[in-house]
Amino acid sequence: MAQAPGENEDREGVMFIGPSGKVLGQLLDIASVPRESVYMTNLVKCMLPGYRKPKSDEIEACSVYLDEEIELVDPEVLVPMGYFATRYLLDKYSLDVPGRKSFGELYGNLMLADGGKLLPLEHPAAVVYDSAKMELLSAHYRKLGVLSKECKWYDMCPMKRYYRAGILDRKWVELYCKGDWSLCVRYEIEESGMAHPDWMLPDGSIDHSLRETAGI
CA 20-25-63 angle, 5° bins: 60
- End-to-end distance of the chain based on CA atoms, in angstroms? 42
DSSP 204: S
User: Using the rule CB under 6 A, is 151 a contact of ligand SF4?
Assistant: yes
Q: How far apart are CA 28 and CA 35, in angstroms?
A: 7
Instruction: State yes or no: residue 110 binds ligand SF4 (CB under 6 A).
Output: no
Indicate whether 103 belongs to the interface with ligand SF4 (CB under 6 A).
no
Distant-in-sequence, close-in-space partners of 188: CB < 8 Å, separation ≥ 6: none
Q: Give the contact letters, 46-85, x = binds to ligand SF4 (CB under 6 A), - = no.
A: ----------------------------------------
Residue 177 interacts with ligand SF4 (CB under 6 A): yes or no: yes
Q: Which of residues 193-212 bind ligand SF4 (CB under 6 A)?
A: 202
Verify binding: residue 187, ligand SF4, rule CB under 6 A. yes
Q: What letter would DSSP give residue 193?
A: T
Q: Which residues bind ligand SF4 (CB under 6 A)?
A: 151, 153-154, 157, 159, 176-177, 181, 184, 186-187, 190, 202
